[in-house]
Chain A
Amino acid sequence: MRWLLAPAFLVALGLLVPVLIAFLVRKQRQIVRVPSTMVWRLGARSVAKNKRIRDIRRLLALLACLIGVAALVFASARPTGTRADTRVFVVDVSATMSGAPIAEARGWLQREVAALGPNARVAIITAGAEAHVALPPTPPGPLVDEAIQKLTTEKDVAAIEEAIAIAEGLSANASSANVIVISDQKIDADASRRSTSKPQMVLVGKNAAGSGGNIDNLGITSLYTRTAPDARDDEEREAVITIATASSITRRVRFSLRLGNRTVTDRSVEIPAHGEATERVGIRGPGKLVAKITADDGKKDALSLDDEASLEEIARQPPHVVMVRPAEASDPSSGQQVKKSAAPFFIERAIRASGVTDLIVINADELLSLSDERRCDVAVVLADGPARPRNVPTFYVGVEPSEIELKTKSVQKTETHLRSVATEESLLRGVALDDITTLRAKVATAPMPRGSHALVELDSGPALVTGGSGTHAWVWLGIDPDASDLVLRVAFPVFVGNVMNQLGGGSQVVTAKTVPRSEVMFAANEVSTALDVAATPKWRIPYSPAMILAMAGAFFLALEAWLTFRRKWSAS
């Protein structure tokens, strides 16, 4: 009796209420006594009825309505059918399936499920960015209907092969099982690992990719923000948007970009046939960044899912910095204090000049408290020791711990001439190193750590290297601040500020989730041998008591409706 709790049953049960109300309202029709109905009868063209006969007729009408509703309730709660096999449906939920194709897929599934018997099992696997079991093997009923209704598309490509593998795994133990792939493009038979009883497939959507149709579509294939290369400050960023079209002619689109409630730009852009165009827009400040395109040439745009992309541009706070300076020590032979290095002083000033307010300066031989280590965003290490925070982006000055795998050598004045500066890198934005004097430095030696690259090279080798990513990002500076005029130059605090900005996440690239280019372009799969096409299900009227009852109920309801409204119909 599980069907008693089925939503369809309860909804259909609700139909009883209006039927009863309608009956009661009709029963409550006011009776007016008139001297004679002779003339009225001539006008009404109706045969006068005896009260009793009329009441019996209404009672029969009510009975018919109730039987009709009851029958429909029963039929809707238990879909009829006799087939007892297992069906595993792989539904493509990639971006190109959005709109009509996914609706068509739902309809196809509903018809197919309706034709299955109560002993059959239905499973649904969705193929989006990842394959996902949307419905484990389940008998036809409300759960299946619900799963079908919940099918929605994703802004991604379809992991069809993975989904087919899961589907074949689910159906492996069933005695009679079929895998049916529902997609808008043909699927290669090689997607199945089976040698026999390959899956069948259903092509849906008028715009089915690979069907040879000329599809007009426009879409945003990428949206990201980054610090502008020529930015004057860290707040100045740029949004980069790529718009592509699958059309065979040049398309014109209206492109708008909103940051929060403010429209940053709204302009017309031309997209070459089967190509793409990249737009750069300067932005400033935090907020939700929404890029939207609409066809501006009156032509069709097949997908709406790819016409909008958004990301959250967050406000950037200055990082919490821990600076580890060399421990003050005395010369054991003379007992005098060693000359104090000026580097920590200049570096600290430069850090504070970059906007950092939360700066902890400790000696290398001290211990950093756990709370300070936890809130540390960036470490500046002038000397290695137990105080050095781990697993945070670090700016090394003349220090190269083993974990960054950087090999160095010390060079003297003759080998410290500046050879090259990578000015296009954000770390060196606004940093002028011309005529720098360096008496002593360390340079990196080959091989350089994987993923690292040099930004400043002296005659003897790289003196500024960056590498790593995320919490393991690092910047290494080999120039000795005590033996160079670097720290005295205006470029130094700018350089330190760039380092703080990059390591502290200020210059990170924020990327929006967009529909992949292949989906926007409706790129067809390379299909050598396509899967066989599954037979289209038809609405069937299986021979069953419930269906007969339902049909009888529907007949009675129609009869009652005709009796009620026939005069109005005939008048109209």
Chain B
Amino acid sequence: MAAVAFPAPPTGDVTDDDLPLLSPQMVARLARLAVVARRIVAARKQGRRRTRRMGQGIETIDLRPYDVGDDTRRIAWHAYARLEKLLVRLVADEAPMRLTLVVDESASMEYGRPTKLRQAARIAAGFAAVALGGEDRVALAIGSANAAKSHRPVSGRAGLTRLLSMLDRVTAVGATDLPGTVRNALDASPGRGVCVIISDLFEPQGVLAGAREARRRGNEVAIVEVLAPFEIDPPDLDGFDLEDEETGEIIELPEYGMRDRYREALEAHRKRIDEAASSMEATVVRTTTAEVFETIVTRALGAGLLGGQR
């Protein structure tokens, strides 16, 4: 039976996919992201993320009436002058953020040029570089239905090297199982933080099933949808049979009109994702394999993807 891969399968030519993730170019790009990260840290006081827990920080987040036993150093004298009431300043506790990066390693991520998996790995590397540059701790989970592996939270420059080494060895295989991957990662290193899921989001378990799992365990969630350009604007495949890379299922496309119907279906699919993300107060950033990954990371940071304190 005739079978072709679309787009054309990888050839023997040296492509961007064949270069190591830690290539000099890649390191240089990550260094630039680290600078960006430091600027963000400076802008956010000491590079630490605020928590809702009141602690020893200096930034006032609220005021409350004074009570016996309160630290008198925190009395808001300016407020007393205006209101003639004793109020104490509540300041945020400042603690290092725990960032968990979840990368979908399913077979569907093998598409595009560079592949969606490679792009996801680079985005993850970029986030890791930013987070580690901000003195946060970063954990990494990579997996599909076949296998899931995770790396415990790391910090500092040495930690980045270990994460990049792990990201450099990813191989797309098996069906998508983001809930399992998230579960595996959070089981290995319990705790709360920000969980960033990088995937094409073709989840047979349901819309944002992986994100729901992370949210259920008390994490803030951010989502990066990575698609190949042809998945957004497909060629005319009317009359073709499509074989699912992950499941081997075949569907027969009608003789005409499928392109428009696909676009409508993709729009509906994304709308469901947005609705689900909104219900979880999660940020969704969409990108393709054609976009430069630094741009994606920058765009994601600008969208508050790693902002914390929600």
User: Interface on A for B, CB 8 Å cutoff?
Assistant: 28-51, 54, 567-568, 571
Inter-subunit contact A36/B261 (CB<8 Å): no
| B262 contact from A31, A39, A48, Cβ within 8 A | A39
**B218-262 Cβ-contact flags toward A at 8 Å (1 or 0):** 000000000010010000010111111111111111111110011
Chain B residue numbers with a CB within 8 Å of A35 are 107-111, 116, 200, 202, 228, 231, 245-246
Chain A residue numbers with a CB within 8 Å of B6 are 32-34
Inter-subunit contact A39/B265 (CB<8 Å): yes
B158 within 8 A of A: no
Q: Whole-angstrom distance between the alpha carbons of A36 and B243 in the complex?
A: 8
Inter-subunit contact B244/A34 (CB<8 Å): yes
B259's closest neighbor in chain A, by CB?
A43
Q: Whole-angstrom distance between the alpha carbons of A44 and B252 in the complex?
A: 8
30 contacts between A and B (CB under 8 A): A29-B252, A30-B3, A30-B4, A30-B240, A30-B241, A31-B1, A31-B2, A31-B240, A31-B242, A32-B237, A33-B245, A34-B111, A35-B109, A35-B111, A35-B231, A35-B245, A36-B202, A36-B245, A37-B243, A37-B244, A39-B266, A40-B242, A40-B251, A42-B265, A43-B261, A44-B261, A47-B251, A48-B250, A54-B252, A571-B254
Inter-subunit contact A46/B251 (CB<8 Å): yes
| A43 contact from B108, B202, B265, Cβ within 8 A | B265
B107's closest neighbor in chain A, by CB?
A35
Inter-subunit contact A568/B254 (CB<8 Å): yes
| B252 contact from A36, A38, A49, Cβ within 8 A | A49
Inter-subunit contact B244/A48 (CB<8 Å): yes
Inter-subunit contact A571/B256 (CB<8 Å): yes
Q: Whole-angstrom distance between the alpha carbons of A548 and B1 in the complex?
A: 36
Inter-subunit contact A34/B252 (CB<8 Å): no
Q: Whole-angstrom distance between the alpha carbons of A460 and B55 in the complex?
A: 166
Shortest distance in angstroms between B230's beta carbon and chain A's nearest beta carbon? 9
Chain A residue numbers with a CB within 8 Å of B268 are 42
Shortest distance in angstroms between A572's beta carbon and chain B's nearest beta carbon? 10
Q: Whole-angstrom distance between the alpha carbons of A46 and B241 in the complex?
A: 12
Chain B residue numbers with a CB within 8 Å of A43 are 258, 261-262, 264-266
Shortest distance in angstroms between B114's beta carbon and chain A's nearest beta carbon? 14
The 8 closest A-B pairs by CB, nearest first: A35-B108, A36-B202, A43-B265, A42-B265, A43-B261, A48-B249, A567-B254, A37-B244
A42's closest neighbor in chain B, by CB?
B265
A38's closest neighbor in chain B, by CB?
B202
B5 within 8 A of A: yes
Q: Whole-angstrom distance between the alpha carbons of A50 and B1 in the complex?
A: 14
Contacts A31-B241, A42-B268, A568-B256 known; A50 to B202 CB distance under 8 Å? no
Inter-subunit contact A44/B254 (CB<8 Å): yes
Contacting residues of chain B (187-209) with chain A, CB-CB under 8 angstroms:
200, 202, 204
B269 within 8 A of A: yes
| A568 contact from B3, B231, B255, B264, Cβ within 8 A | B255
Shortest distance in angstroms between B242's beta carbon and chain A's nearest beta carbon? 5
A53's closest neighbor in chain B, by CB?
B250
Contacts A48-B250, A49-B251, A51-B248 known; A32 to B116 CB distance under 8 Å? no
Q: Whole-angstrom distance between the alpha carbons of A296 and B146 in the complex?
A: 88
Inter-subunit contact B252/A32 (CB<8 Å): no
Q: Whole-angstrom distance between the alpha carbons of A54 and B243 in the complex?
A: 12
* Residue of A28, A31, A47, A51 ringed by the most chain B CB atoms within 10 A: A31
Q: Whole-angstrom distance between the alpha carbons of A51 and B251 in the complex?
A: 9
Chain A residue numbers with a CB within 8 Å of B251 are 37, 40-41, 44, 46-49
Apart from A39-B231, A44-B261: 9 A-B pairs, beta carbons within 8 A: A29-B239, A31-B242, A35-B108, A36-B108, A41-B251, A46-B253, A47-B251, A49-B249, A50-B250
Chain A residue numbers with a CB within 8 Å of B111 are 34-35
Contacting residues of chain B (1-44) with chain A, CB-CB under 8 angstroms:
1-6
**B91-114 Cβ-contact flags toward A at 8 Å (1 or 0):** 000000000000000011111000
Chain A residue numbers with a CB within 8 Å of B252 are 29, 44, 46, 49, 54
Chain B residue numbers with a CB within 8 Å of A28 are 2
Chain B residue numbers with a CB within 8 Å of A30 are 2-4, 240-241
Shortest distance in angstroms between B30's beta carbon and chain A's nearest beta carbon? 27
Shortest distance in angstroms between B309's beta carbon and chain A's nearest beta carbon? 35
Chain B residue numbers with a CB within 8 Å of A33 are 3-6, 242-243, 245
Shortest distance in angstroms between B207's beta carbon and chain A's nearest beta carbon? 10
Shortest distance in angstroms between B128's beta carbon and chain A's nearest beta carbon? 25
Q: Whole-angstrom distance between the alpha carbons of A124 and B175 in the complex?
A: 76
Inter-subunit contact B204/A38 (CB<8 Å): yes
Shortest distance in angstroms between A37's beta carbon and chain B's nearest beta carbon? 4
Inter-subunit contact A32/B262 (CB<8 Å): no
* Residue of A43, A47, A568 ringed by the most chain B CB atoms within 10 A: A43
Chain B residue numbers with a CB within 8 Å of A49 are 249-252
Contacts A43-B258, A44-B258, A48-B250 known; A32 to B4 CB distance under 8 Å? yes
| A34 contact from B242, B254, B256, Cβ within 8 A | B242
Chain A residue numbers with a CB within 8 Å of B3 are 30-31, 33
Chain B residue numbers with a CB within 8 Å of A571 are 254, 256-257
Q: Whole-angstrom distance between the alpha carbons of A49 and B242 in the complex?
A: 10
A35's closest neighbor in chain B, by CB?
B108
Q: Whole-angstrom distance between the alpha carbons of A30 and B108 in the complex?
A: 20
Chain A residue numbers with a CB within 8 Å of B243 are 31-34, 37
Q: Whole-angstrom distance between the alpha carbons of A283 and B176 in the complex?
A: 95
Shortest distance in angstroms between A443's beta carbon and chain B's nearest beta carbon? 99
* Residue of B111, B231, B245, B250 ringed by the most chain A CB atoms within 10 A: B250
Shortest distance in angstroms between B239's beta carbon and chain A's nearest beta carbon? 7
Q: Whole-angstrom distance between the alpha carbons of A35 and B251 in the complex?
A: 13
Q: Whole-angstrom distance between the alpha carbons of A320 and B199 in the complex?
A: 109
Q: Whole-angstrom distance between the alpha carbons of A39 and B243 in the complex?
A: 13
Q: Whole-angstrom distance between the alpha carbons of A36 and B175 in the complex?
A: 10
Shortest distance in angstroms between B14's beta carbon and chain A's nearest beta carbon? 23
Contacts A29-B241, A31-B241, A35-B111 known; A42 to B254 CB distance under 8 Å? no
Q: Whole-angstrom distance between the alpha carbons of A534 and B261 in the complex?
A: 61
B112's closest neighbor in chain A, by CB?
A35
Chain B residue numbers with a CB within 8 Å of A51 are 248, 250
* Residue of A39, A41, A48 ringed by the most chain B CB atoms within 10 A: A39
Inter-subunit contact A36/B258 (CB<8 Å): no
Q: Whole-angstrom distance between the alpha carbons of A50 and B243 in the complex?
A: 10
Q: Whole-angstrom distance between the alpha carbons of A405 and B244 in the complex?
A: 109
Shortest distance in angstroms between A524's beta carbon and chain B's nearest beta carbon? 59
Chain B residue numbers with a CB within 8 Å of A44 are 251-254, 258, 261
Shortest distance in angstroms between B6's beta carbon and chain A's nearest beta carbon? 4
Shortest distance in angstroms between A560's beta carbon and chain B's nearest beta carbon? 14
Chain A residue numbers with a CB within 8 Å of B116 are 35
Chain A residue numbers with a CB within 8 Å of B266 are 39, 43
B115's closest neighbor in chain A, by CB?
A35
Chain B residue numbers with a CB within 8 Å of A42 are 265, 268-269
Chain A residue numbers with a CB within 8 Å of B176 are 36
Q: Whole-angstrom distance between the alpha carbons of A42 and B258 in the complex?
A: 11
Shortest distance in angstroms between B237's beta carbon and chain A's nearest beta carbon? 6
Q: Whole-angstrom distance between the alpha carbons of A50 and B244 in the complex?
A: 11
Q: Whole-angstrom distance between the alpha carbons of A31 and B244 in the complex?
A: 10
Shortest distance in angstroms between B48's beta carbon and chain A's nearest beta carbon? 39
* Residue of A33, A42, A571 ringed by the most chain B CB atoms within 10 A: A33
